[in-house]
Amino acid sequence: MKNNIRVERAIVRMTQQQLAEAVGVSRQTINAIESCKYVPSAVLALKIARTFGKPIESIFSLEEGD
């Protein structure tokens, strides 16, 4: 699963820590998601998308073979 979290954070000038606090997880969790080392739950993915005011499909996408 690919994601655009790093890009979305840059657009709104948000740190990993700020996003983590907004969605109720650790900064390390946000880092792991951005690095594609961790796939977030549906609830967490929805919280992240809501934080940026975008549909979930614009933040997360499946790669070929997922």
Tens-place pLDDT, residues 23-44: 999 999 999 999 999 999 999 9
Is the per-residue pLDDT at 66 higher than 80?
no
**Residue 17: inside a domain, yes or no?**
yes
**Residue 65: inside a domain, yes or no?**
no
| pTM, to two decimals | 0.92
What are the residues whose beta carbons fall under 8 Å from the beta carbon of 34, sequence distance 6 or more? 3, 5, 6, 16
Cα of 32 vs its chain's centroid, Å: 10
CA distance 11 to 41: 24
pLDDT grade for 21, boundaries at 50, 70 and 90? very high
**Residue 60: inside a domain, yes or no?**
no
**Residue 20: inside a domain, yes or no?**
yes
Domain count, the chain: 1
Q: What residues make up the domain containing 45?
A: 2-55
Q: Which long-range contacts (CB under 8 A, 24 or more apart) does 53-58 make?
A: 54/8, 58/4
Tell me the residue type at 61: S
